[in-house]
Amino acid sequence: MIQKIVANINEAVSNIFDGATILVSGFGGAGLPFQLLDALLEQGAKDLTIVSNNAGNAGVGIAKLISGGRVRKMICSFPRQPESGAFDDLFRAGKIELELVPQGTLAERIRAGGAGIGAFFTPTAYGTELAVGKEIKEINGVQQILEMSIQADFALIKADQGDRWGNLTYHGTGRNFGPVMATAATCTIAQVNRLVELGELNPETIITPGIFVKRVVCIDGGKKK
Amino acid sequence: MDLSQLKKRTTAEIAQRIVEDIPDGATVNLGIGQPMTISNYLPPDREIILHSENGLLGMGPLAVGEQIDHEVVNAGKQPVTMLPGASLFHHADSFAMIRGGHIDICVLGGFQVSVAGDLANWRTGDPKAIPAVGGAMDLALGAKKLFVMMEHLTKSGVSKIVNTCTYPITGLAVVDCIYTDLATILVTPSGLVALDWVDGLSFEQLRELSGVEIQNGKKS
């Protein structure tokens, strides 16, 4: 029988290893899997490469992992936040690497990784310092840059509802990177606000089919409003 | 030239000027910062669909009180409402809309705009600043029309409209129209064309302040 639901948050992150590359959903705080990140901090894995839109804010989420010295490298589009001190300080001290990626390119590199596409050309960043060192080709009259796909060891996703097959729905703009990242990791771990019986989710409304998901865990506290 | 006597356009006035150029039925993306104020001035007689890069079409006004849901936010991470007809989608789809040329108008802030329409708006080259780019590069080249909303001059009085950008580039030849606190300037293949400017400023003074070649395109 297929049973992707795990009993507790610590079990959900138990096999994340040192040096892992981890996709983390979220745009600002919306869709950020805070509980999975806290469990990861407690679990102790270090030397991590984190792929996420932002690099943490206000001492929570990814910022806690960074302050805890667990993150070797950030791959993100917008590390600067009103309270991004955790990242900022380490970056200025040369203690954390940054690969800055335009947001659309980041989304597409992850999408490609999940879809088995090795690399693709995009016009974004042509003529800018983020294109330096990359192959450039003119395609249909447009200068485009070769970008490589991203495939990760783990994806930590915040979803809204999930079932034992790993089917997921999302809430509001908390969706953002979640469905894309869910496809692009060897082990996708989703935290949900509510677990439902198999068949309760309307097939029309499932955003992430369970095929992409390895583990689902329900968090205490439910939906923040 | 004594600029202290000039009545420069306020942010609200520049926003309202930009709204004049947004047609009924347009899908518009507003960049973070000043451009977001444009959403306060959308007219009731025109249906304009706001796109938010983080996965929302049909974004409504900022949420207040009971409306606030911290999982429904705009690109600036502020809670927003959704209008009837709104849709939600993930990031790859959102940037397919952007990069795939489906957004009619994008309004971004700017550090510098060149006479060729190059835009510099994501970093200043200050070595102490933390670099961050977000969706600016995708938006700059993807939108069918790119409007830049910015002050005409820096705090030290230097023109932000330049022959060649000295700040790191966001996109080359991407800007269609520049809206500042002094003037509205179209970017065309034959150069910059000023469409309107504030009272008390002559066209010659505008050109001198801007420090670049501009043609007089004012409709009399």
Report the pLDDT averaged over residues B186-214: 97
Q: Give the sheet arrangement for strand A194-195, strand by strand.
A: A168-169, A161-162, A194-195
Compute the nearest-CA separation of B194 from chain A (Å). 27
Q: Do A176 and B88 touch (CB under 8 A)?
A: no
Q: Work out the number of other CB atoms within 10 angstroms of the CB of residue B200.
A: 11
pLDDT of amino acid B6: 86
| Residues belonging to chain B | 220
Determine whether the interchain pair A172/B69 forms a contact, defined as Cβ–Cβ distance below 8 Å. Answer: yes
- Please write the tens of the pLDDT for every residue from A75-127: 999 998 888 789 999 999 999 999 999 999 999 999 999 999 999 999 999 99
Please give the Cα distance from A223 to B67 (Å, whole number). 15
Q: What is the pLDDT of residue A18?
A: 98
Write out pLDDT tens, residues B56-88. Answer: 999 999 999 999 999 999 999 999 999 999 999
Nearest-angstrom CA–CA distance, B129 and B24: 40
Instruction: Please compute the mean of the pLDDT values over residues A177-196 and round it to a whole number.
Output: 98
Percentage with pLDDT > 70 across chain B: 99
Strand order across the beta sheet in which A142-148 lies: A119-122, A142-148, A136-139
Q: Which residues 14-53 of A have a C-beta within 8 angstroms of B?
A: 27-31, 53
Mean pLDDT comparison of A86-95, A128-137, B127-136, highest-scoring range: A128-137
Would you tell me how many other CB atoms lie within 10 Å of the CB of residue B146?
28
pLDDT bin (cut points 50, 70, 90) of residue B125 is: confident
Kind of pairing between the strands at B119-120 and B145-149: unpaired
ipTM: 0.95
Q: What is the pLDDT of residue A155?
A: 98
Measured CA to CA, the distance from residue A147 to residue A131 in angstroms comes to 9
Q: Number of residue pairs across A and B with CB atoms under 8 Å?
A: 139
Q: Which of A124, A207, A223 would best serve as a mutation to test chain B binding (most B beta carbons within 10 A)?
A: A124
pLDDT bucket at B93, cuts 50 / 70 / 90: very high
DSSP secondary structure, A43-77, as one string: HT--SEEEE-SB--BTTBTHHHHHHTT-EEEEEES
DSSP A115: H
Fold of B3-216: Glutaconate Coenzyme A-transferase (3.40.1080)
Interface test with A, best of B138, B164, B166, B167 (most A CBs within 10 A): B138
The residues on B that touch A, with CB distances below 8 Å, are 52-56, 68-73, 77, 88-92, 94-95, 98-99, 118, 128-138, 141-142, 168-172
CB < 8 Å to B131, chain A: 79-80, 98, 100
**pLDDT at residue A221, rounded to an integer:** 54
Is any Cβ of chain B less than 8 angstroms from the Cβ of A120? no
- pLDDT category at B160 given cuts 50, 70, 90 is very high
| Nearest chain B alpha carbon to A85 | B130
A103–B73 CB contact, under 8 Å: no
Q: What is the dihedral of CA B187, B191, B196, B198, to 10 degrees?
A: 100
Query: In whole numbers, what is the pLDDT of chain B averaged over residues?
Result: 95
Supply the pLDDT for residue A225. Answer: 31
Q: Residues B137-166: what's their mean pLDDT?
A: 97
Q: Do A176 and B132 touch (CB under 8 A)?
A: no
Q: Which residues of B touch A105 (CB under 8 A)?
A: 137-138
Chain B positions touching A223 (Cβ under 8 A) are 71
Q: Which residues contact A118 (CB under 8 A, 6 or more apart)?
A: A112, A148, A149
pLDDT tens, A49-77? Answer: 999 999 988 889 999 999 999 999 999 99
pLDDT at B69: 96
Q: What are the phi and psi torsion angles at B124 (to 5°)?
A: -100, -10
pLDDT on residue B219: 79
Residue A223 confidence (pLDDT): 40
What mean pLDDT do residues B97-116 have? 98
Confidence at B128, pLDDT banded by 50, 70, 90: confident
Domain boundaries, chain B: 3-216
- Which of A96, A222, A75 minimizes the C-alpha distance to A151? A75
Burial bucket for residue A18 (CB in 10 Å: 0-12, 13-18, 19+) = exposed
* pLDDT for the residue numbered B4: 74
Chain B residues with CB inside 8 Å of A28's CB? 73, 77
Sign of CA dihedral A131, A150, A97, A27: positive
Give the catalytic positions of B in this structure: 53
Residues A7-30 pLDDT 10s: 999 999 999 999 999 999 999 899
Residue A28 contacts residue A57 (beta carbons within 8 Å):
yes
Structural domains in chain A, sorted by start: 9-121+148-218 (3.40.1080.10)
Rounded mean pLDDT of chain A? 95
Mean pLDDT of A191-213: 98
Q: Which residue of B has its CA nearest to A109?
A: B92
Query: Is A128 touching B (CB cutoff 8 A)?
Result: yes
Tell me which residue in B52, B90, B136 faces A178 most closely, judged by beta carbons. Answer: B90
Residues of A in Cβ contact (< 8 Å) with B89:
175
Q: How far is A124 from chain B (nearest CA, A)?
A: 5
What per-residue confidence (pLDDT) applies to A224? 36
Contacts of B69 in chain A (CB under 8 A): 172, 225
Q: Decide if pLDDT at A31 tops 80.
A: yes
Is A124 close to B138, i.e. CB distance below 8 A? yes
